[in-house]
Amino acid sequence: MKHLLKLADLSREEILSILNLADQLKYERKNGIDQTGYLKGKTLIMIFSKSSTRTRVSFDVGITELGGHPLFLSNSESQIGRGEPVQDTARVLSRMAHGIMIRTFSQQEVEDLAKYGSIPVINGLTDYCHPCQVLADLMTIREYKGSFKGLKLCFVGDGNNMANSLMVGAVKMGMKFAIACPEGYEPDAQLMAWAKSEGDFFLSRDPVEAARGADVIYTDVWASMGQEGEQKKRAAAFAGITVNDAVMKAAKKDAMLLHCLPVHRGEEVTEEIFEAHAQEIFDEAENRLHAQKAVLVKLMR
**Contact flag: residue 290 with ligand CP (CB under 6 A):** no
The DSSP output letter for 287 is: H
**Contact flag: residue 260 with ligand CP (CB under 6 A):** yes
CA–CA dist 256, 270 (Å, integer): 15
- Annotation says 3 is catalytic: no
Minimum CB distance to ligand NVA smaller for 85 or for 226: 226
- Annotation says 220 is catalytic: yes
Among 208, 261, 263, 276, indicate the residue that binds ligand CP (CB under 6 A).
261
- Annotation says 288 is catalytic: yes
Interacting residues toward ligand NVA by CB under 6 A: 125, 160-162, 220-221, 224-225, 260
Residues 18-77 interacting with ligand CP (rule: CB under 6 A): 52-55
Q: Which amino acid is at 51?
A: S
- Annotation says 54 is catalytic: no
**Which residue lies nearest ligand NVA, judged by its C-beta?**
224
* Measured CA distances, 226 to 79, 163, 205, 234, 285 (Å): 21, 17, 25, 13, 22
Alpha helices in 31-154 (DSSP H): 54-65, 86-96, 107-116, 131-145
Beta carbon of residue 285, minimum distance to ligand CP (angstroms, whole number)? 7
From the DSSP assignment, how many helices (H) and strands (E) are in the chain?
A: 12, 9
∠ Cα 120 67 18 (to 5°): 50
Does residue 10 contact residue 277 with C-beta atoms inside 8 Å?
no
Binding mask 83-122 for ligand CP (x = CB under 6 A): ----------------------------------------
Among 133, 164, 165, 224, indicate the residue that binds ligand CP (CB under 6 A).
133
Report the partner that residue 224 touches, choosing among ligand NVA, ligand CP, none (CB closer than 5 to 8 A by kind). Answer: ligand NVA
Question: Which residues are catalytically annotated?
Answer: 103, 130, 133, 220, 260, 288
